[in-house]
Structure 1
Amino acid sequence: MTRNSDRCPSHPGALLREDIIPAIGKPKTEIAALLGISRQHLYDIMAEKKPVSPEVAVRLAKMFGGAPLVWVRMQGAYDAWHAARAVDVSGVPTLFAAE
C-alpha cells in the first residue's frame, strides 16, 4: 500500500488534538503541566502553529508511550512535505557519483 504523495502528512498536533488527548480525558492545561511545557505551547502544537521539537517528542513518548522517534518522524514528514512544495529547486543541479 502506497501513500498518496499529494496528501499532506498529519501534523503531530492533529493526532494530539483529535485522538490522544480526548481519549485521555484530562484537561489540556493539566496535560501541559504534566509535560512540563506551557499551556500556550501545547495549544500551539495542537493548532499546528508550532512543531514538535525533539525535546517535546521525548516528553510525549514518556507520557503516552512509544518512542520519541515516532513524534520526530511525524513532524519531519509534515515539514518535508511543505518544504518540497515551497522551495524552488529549479536552479539546483542533480549530481551523480562518478563511476
Structure 2
Amino acid sequence: MTRMHNPPHPGEVLREYLGTITVTEAAVKLRVNRVTLSRVVTGSSGISADMAYRLADAFGTSPELWAGMQLQYDLHHASKLKRPKIERLAA
C-alpha cells in the first residue's frame, strides 16, 4: 500500500458523497446518531469498522474503501509524531 501525502480525513470525502443530503437525513438512513455522523463529517471522529460497513451499504462502495481512507489518514498523522528509537527484536 502506497502512502498518500497528507491524505484528507475520510469525513471530507463523506461530505462529497452526501452531496445535498443533510447530516440529519443521512444519520437517519444510516441508523446512527446525528452527532456521531456530524463528528465524522467534521473530522472530529474517525470511521469505525461498523461505520465503514454502514457507509458501504449506503453508497454501494466497499467497507475497505472507508476503512482504508481512515488507516491512511491515521498513519500519515502518526508518522508526524516524535517517537523513541526502537531496536529490532531478534527473530
Common fold by TM > 0.5: yes
For the pair shown, which has the larger CA radius of gyration, 1 or 2? 1
Instruction: State the alpha-carbon separation in 2 of the partners of residues 74 and 26 from structure 1.
Output: 21
The total of aligned residue pairs comes to 90
- Give the CA deviation at 1:36: 1.1
| CA displacement, residues 15-45 of structure 1 (integer Å, 9 cap, x when unaligned) | 012x1111xx322201011101111111100
Report the CA distance between 1:81 and its aligned residue: 0.8
Displacement, 1:94? 3.5
- Find the residue that maps to 2:80 and give its secondary structure: helix
State the 4+ residue runs in structure 1 displaced beyond 2 angstroms. Answer: 94-97
The one of the two structures with greater contact order (alpha-carbon pairs below 8 A, sep at least 6) is: 2
Q: Which residue of structure 2 aligns with residue 16 of structure 1?
A: 14
2:41 is aligned to: 46
Q: State the partner residue of 2:62.
A: 67
Name the CA shift for 1:43/1:76 in 2 (closer, same or farther; >3 Å). Answer: same
Q: In the TM superposition, what is the alpha-carbon distance from 1:86 to its structure 2 partner?
A: 1.4
1:83 and 1:28, CA in 2 relative to 1: closer, same or farther beyond 3 A? same
Gaps of 5+ in 2: none
Question: Relative to structure 1, is the Cα distance of residues 27 and 49 closer, same or farther in structure 2, using a 3 angstrom cutoff?
Answer: same
**Share of identical aligned residues, percent?**
34
1:11 Cα shift?
A: 1.2
| Structure 1: runs of 5 or more not aligned | none
TM-score for the superposition, normalised by structure 1? 0.80
1:76 maps to 71
Normalised by the size of structure 2, how large is the TM-score?
Answer: 0.86
